[in-house]
Amino acid sequence: LDSFTSRLQGSEPLAKTLAGSVLGLGVPMAAELAVRAGLAPDRAPYADAAERLWPHLQELMQIVRDHRFAPTIYLDRNRPVAFTPFPFVSLENLTHHAAARMSDAVDAVMTSAGAAARLEETRAGLLASIDTALGKLTRTASEIEQALVESSHAHELRAQGELLLAFGSQIRSGAREATVTGYDGRPVTIPLDPARSPVDNAQRLFKRYAKLRDALTALSARQERLAADRQFLEHARAHALHAETLDALEDLRQELLAEGFVRARGRPSKPSRRAGPRSFSLAGGYTVLVGRTKAENERVTFALAGPEDLWFHARGVAGAHVVLKTGGRRPQMNTIEQAAAIAADFSTARESRTVAVDYTQRKYVRKPKGAKPGLVTYEREKTIFVKPELPATGQRDNATTR
Q: Report pLDDT digits (tens) over 162-217.
A: 999 999 888 888 999 999 998 888 999 999 999 999 999 999 999 988 888 888 88
Burial, 233: exposed, middle or buried (Cβ in 10 Å; 0-12, 13-18, 19+)?
Answer: buried
Residue 399: its pLDDT value, please?
A: 35
Percent of the chain with pLDDT over 70: 95
Say what the pLDDT of residue 239 is.
84
Q: How far is CA 99 from CA 60, 93, 158, 163, in A?
A: 20, 18, 82, 90
- pLDDT computed for residue 355 by the predictor: 96
Q: What is the pLDDT, as a whole number, of residue 273?
A: 52
Cβ partners under 8 Å of residue 65, min gap 6: none
Helices (H) and strands (E) counted in the chain, each on its own, are 10, 13
Q: Taking the domains of the chain in order of start, what are their residue ranges?
A: 2-110, 152-227, 278-395
What integer best gives the mean pLDDT of the chain? 88
Residue 317 has pLDDT above 70, yes or no: yes
> Residue 396: pLDDT above 50?
no
Instruction: Give the residue among 300, 249, 14, 5 at the shortest CA–CA distance from 127.
Output: 249
- Which of 389, 379, 306 has its CA nearest to residue 341? 389
Residue 400 to residue 160: CA distance in whole angstroms: 66
Q: Tell me, what's the pLDDT at 267? A: 55
Q: How far apart are the first and last CA of the chain?
A: 62
Q: What is the pLDDT of residue 161?
A: 92
Identify the pLDDT of residue 306: 95
Q: 23-67 pLDDT, tens per residue?
A: 889 999 999 999 999 999 998 887 888 999 999 999 999 999 999
Under 8 Å between Cβ of 359 and 353: no
Dist. CA 172–CA 293, nearest whole Å: 68
Query: Model confidence over 268-295: pLDDT tens digits?
Result: 555 555 557 889 999 999 999 999 888 8
- Which segment of 105-119, 141-155, 172-186, 307-321 scores lowest on mean pLDDT? 141-155
Burial class (CB in 10 A: 0-12, 13-18, 19+), 27: middle
pLDDT of residue 401: 32
Whether 62 and 70 have beta carbons less than 8 Å apart is answered as: no
Q: What percent of the chain has pLDDT over 90?
A: 54
Q: Are 232 and 259 in contact (CB under 8 A)?
A: yes
